[in-house]
Amino acid sequence: MPEPLTSVTPVTSVAPVTSVTFPPAFLWGAATSAYQIEGAVREGGRTPSIWDTFSHTPGRTAGGEHGDIAVDHYHRYRDDVALMADLGLTAYRFSVSWPRVQPTGRGPAVQVGLDFYRRLVDELLAVGIKPALTLYHWDLPQELEDAGGWPERDTAYRFAEYAQIMGEALGDRVEQWITLNEPWCSAFLGYGSGVHAPGRTDPAASLKAAHHLNLAHGLSTSALRSAMPARNSIAVSLNSSVVRPASQSPADLAAARKIDDLANGVFHGPMLHGSYPQSLLDATRSITDWSYVHDGDLTLIHQPLDALGLNYYTPALVAAAEPTGPAPRADGHGASAHSPWPGADDVAFLQTPGERTEMGWTIDPTGLYDLILRYTREAPGLPLYVTENGAAYDDKPDPEGRVHDPERIAYLHGHLSAVRRAIADGADVRGYYLWSLMDNFEWAYGYEKRFGAVYVDYATLARTPKSSARWYGEAARTGTLPSAEGA
């Protein structure tokens, strides 16, 4: 196994480039997820997911908001695809709602649910937009959670059966597949800090969930390969953290290593190298004995991948905590008395300096550059995609109904410049998916945070492309970044 990188190097700069031109085949996409945009939660045989239950539980989401209607993409998908085509996008990453196609997480598919995704894919292909299908973006069928959820081994096998169903249904027309989106959030925010569905706060359960998500990835990869043409690409999207130490002291470097293991090594270790970092196992021995890792599991998880998706928003800055008092936890992952970092109570998360988005996340394109270069070394020869990157701002229409968002244009220009610099430095990055296509239900934040390039009036559900959408569309059509000046 290659020596894992520490991701604790000092901040590197991404020098400005005067002419930012991308390779001709580079994919210019946008991303969404099913629960955040579809609505129609009780149509076509769909049953509740853990996010339906969580968002309808008082006190779990801002204002008690939920995704029952979201932005009604289920009924408006044709208009949304036409909007993507008008903007000039060449790719669209969406997720499938597991309980829409397999309501209980077991048994045969509901054809009306599959038919929705067939129609969506056909609509995309008809206008020349490449579909990228994510099997799991956090909407576990509630019946599987009632049976124990991701901490239970059986959930991984149910997921593989679901993957088989989807591969057989859409493998003839979808070439890009992603097994899991951000399994770190599913495991550690869902079962550790409780700020995401299902809202459990059990450190041992969060580590078990991480392993079974890894197992689900491996089993589903094998299932997809058995069900689809060999030409199709299978990937996973990781929200790998860029973890930086507050200093080069041994204590701060050790703190950064611990968080790097929990954020990154817990997934890329088994997926890319076939083993968990020994330092991770040692640091969590007081929480779990890892006995749920069965003989042969790591071989099942360590399946060959065709690509790797990287989701990036902001770096993390950590230090060894002071010996007295609770460690500060400005980790950007929501407020909770329970930590999503099992075994890391001795690590302090510090506020990174610089300008911030509405999420309170520091804007730092150097983190994206560093992340891409890390995985260029971590997984040599594996094509990379930036499967999420974007920013939330307090966007509002002007009196003429236009939505001007120069901050997002500057954000995109900086991060896309970082991608292009990484390509120039040898990284095989083949596409970029802006998060998000449109404003939507932003999980526990409800509808407060707007990440979209397209503005949604939540009262009427009317869509209005923001100035950033037009800017991004021009980049997609020309393969060159327009100026961000005067945006």
Question: What does the pLDDT read at residue 485?
Answer: 73
Catalytic pick among 182, 378, 407, 442: 182
Question: What does the pLDDT read at residue 7?
Answer: 39
Contact 211, 293 (CB under 8 A): yes
Question: What does the pLDDT read at residue 345?
Answer: 95
Contact 98, 56 (CB under 8 A): no
Calculate what percentage of the chain has a pLDDT beyond 70.
96
Catalytic pick among 38, 388, 407, 442: 388
pLDDT tens per residue, range 72-103? 999 999 999 999 999 999 999 999 999 999 99
pLDDT tens per residue, range 413-455? 999 999 999 999 999 999 999 999 999 999 999 999 999 999 9
Residues of the chain with pLDDT under 70: 1-19, 486-487
Number of CB atoms found within 10 A of residue 329's CB: 21
Q: Round the CA-based radius of gyration of the chain to a whole number and report it.
A: 21
First to last CA, the chain: 46
Residue linked to tokens 């930036």: 386
Question: What does the pLDDT read at residue 19?
Answer: 64
Burial of 473 (0-12, 13-18, 19+ CB in 10 A): buried
Number of CB atoms found within 10 A of residue 10's CB: 8
**Separation CA 454–CA 470 (nearest Å):** 9
- Phi/psi for 455 (5° steps) reads -80, 135
Sign of the four-CA dihedral 249, 251, 257, 259: negative
Amino acid identity of 228?
M
The DSSP letter of residue 444 is G
Amino acid identity of 356?
R
pLDDT tens per residue, range 113-172? 999 999 999 999 999 999 999 999 999 999 999 999 999 999 999 999 999 999 999 999
- Phi/psi for 119 (5° steps) reads -65, -40
The DSSP letter of residue 188 is I
Mean pLDDT for the chain overall: 95
Question: What does the pLDDT read at residue 323?
Answer: 85
To the query of whether residue 182 is one of the catalytic residues in this protein, the response is: yes
